[in-house]
Amino acid sequence: MKEIVSEPGGEHTFQGTEERFRLLVESVTDYAIFMLDTQGHILTWNSGAQRIKGYRADEILGQHFSRFYPPEALQRGLPEHELRVATAEGRYEDEGWRVRKDGSLFWANVIITALRGRSGELRGFAKVTRDLTQHREHEERLRQSEERFRLLVEGVADYAIFMLDPNGYVATWNNGAQRIKGYLPHEIVGQHFSKFYPPDVARSGWPEHELQVAAEQGRFVDEGWRLRKDGSTFWASVVITAMRDESGRLLGFSKLTRDLTERRRAEAAEVEGKQREELLEAERTARIAAQDAARSKDEFLATLSHELRTPINTVYTWVQLMQSGKLDEAANKAALDAIERGVKTQIRLIEDLLDLSRITAGKLLLKA
């Protein structure tokens, strides 16, 4: 590469740059960085390679890099495979066990890059190795911890504990959920959790309301009737918790349900059970009715808004045409007729709206 330098002193400048780059690579201790010839023999060796693999430069230079691989990898021809892929594709990356000088194993991330000359001929390979043993051990401990937690949750029989995706579909199912709700995992995973609610509650949008509150506030707590697979109802204590990643993105929800039917019956007996039952049912019915009324009101106002806008637009259009002075007498008459119809329609709609207001206030008088 020296011939590309044409100015006086250029070769000296290039050599200085090359020397600095060599010193940089040799001083790196967290990565094993070294060169291989086209057959895989080691040409260079940095401080990181000595620290990670245990060989001094005079012990390893000229040796084949396959000595870093455990016997089973050598039997599979892995070193040769890596060089073939790097030659064909320019780069090879993998993770796996590698061998140190003392025979101990470490988990390595390996990147091999093909090095080519100006005319494209293969000159050798650059190999960068990182020791990820601690990282892998941490991941393995985390996996084992998660596995123990999964087994713990699945073994709980007194609580239904399961996960929902962000849209409310069941993602996991434990033994307690199966016992309390009656569904086997393959019958319920992938189904929407609204099927655990009585039909009128599900239609009212209450399940979606629970998820909305949990997403906004982090947690939702409630008690109410829920359905089992066989159609029977039970009184449930429900806790829904929003699950988010480190960036705050919603991953889904955890849902914990307890069957409190017996406790509720005992409480109802203490306060004259039937009366309390009716009160709770009335409260539930009123809540559903209020939700239905609010939804109906919103739909009515949306429709009324559209109906009010239509005659106004008609009147405004004809007024603009009349003001332009371009209409003849017949067109002017048609315009006035259209304006009159629009105004009458507007008056009728406003009267309807006033009647609705009087009905709401209980002041509408009906004439015989």
Q: How confident is the model at residue 366 (pLDDT cuts 50, 70, 90)?
A: low
The fold of 297-361 is Helix Hairpins (1.10.287)
Whether the CB-CB separation of 99 and 69 falls below 8 Å is answered with: yes
Average pLDDT, integer, range 176-183: 92
> What pLDDT was estimated at residue 59?
94
DSSP annotation of 218 reads S
> What pLDDT was estimated at residue 262?
84
> What pLDDT was estimated at residue 321?
76
Domain at 2-134, CATH from 3.30.70.270, 3.40.50.150, 3.90.650.10, 3.30.450.20: 3.30.450.20
pLDDT above 50: residue 350: yes
Whether the CB-CB separation of 169 and 190 falls below 8 Å is answered with: yes
User: Which CA distances in Å does 218 have to 213, 224, 257?
Assistant: 7, 20, 17
Domain boundaries, the chain: 2-134, 156-270, 297-361
Instruction: With CA atoms as reference, report the closest residue to 263 among 222, 283, 234, 238.
Output: 234
> What pLDDT was estimated at residue 5?
40
Whether the CB-CB separation of 171 and 164 falls below 8 Å is answered with: yes
What does the pLDDT look like over 280-319, one tens digit per residue? 788 888 888 777 776 776 676 667 666 667 777 777 787 8
Instruction: With CA atoms as reference, report the closest residue to 181 among 256, 252, 240.
Output: 256
Q: How many percent of the chain have pLDDT more than 90?
A: 51
Sheet of 91-99, strand order: 32-36, 122-131, 105-116, 91-99
pLDDT above 80: residue 251: yes
Average pLDDT, integer, range 74-90: 95
- And the tokens for 19? 């020397």
> What pLDDT was estimated at residue 81?
96
What does the pLDDT look like over 85-123, one tens digit per residue? 999 999 999 999 999 999 999 999 999 999 998 899 999
pTM over 0.85: no
> What pLDDT was estimated at residue 183?
94
Instruction: With CA atoms as reference, report the closest residue to 234 among 161, 306, 179, 289.
Output: 179
Tokens 């239509």 belong to: 310
DSSP calls for 236-275? EEEEEEEEE-TT--EEEEEEEEEE-HHHHHHHHHHT-HHH
Average pLDDT, integer, range 50-59: 93
> What pLDDT was estimated at residue 1?
36
Nearby residues of 29 by Cβ (< 8 Å), 6 or more positions away:
47, 48, 51
Instruction: With CA atoms as reference, report the closest residue to 253 among 216, 226, 224.
Output: 216
> What pLDDT was estimated at residue 182?
92
Which has the higher per-residue pLDDT, 159 or 357? 159
The fold of 156-270 is Beta-Lactamase (3.30.450)
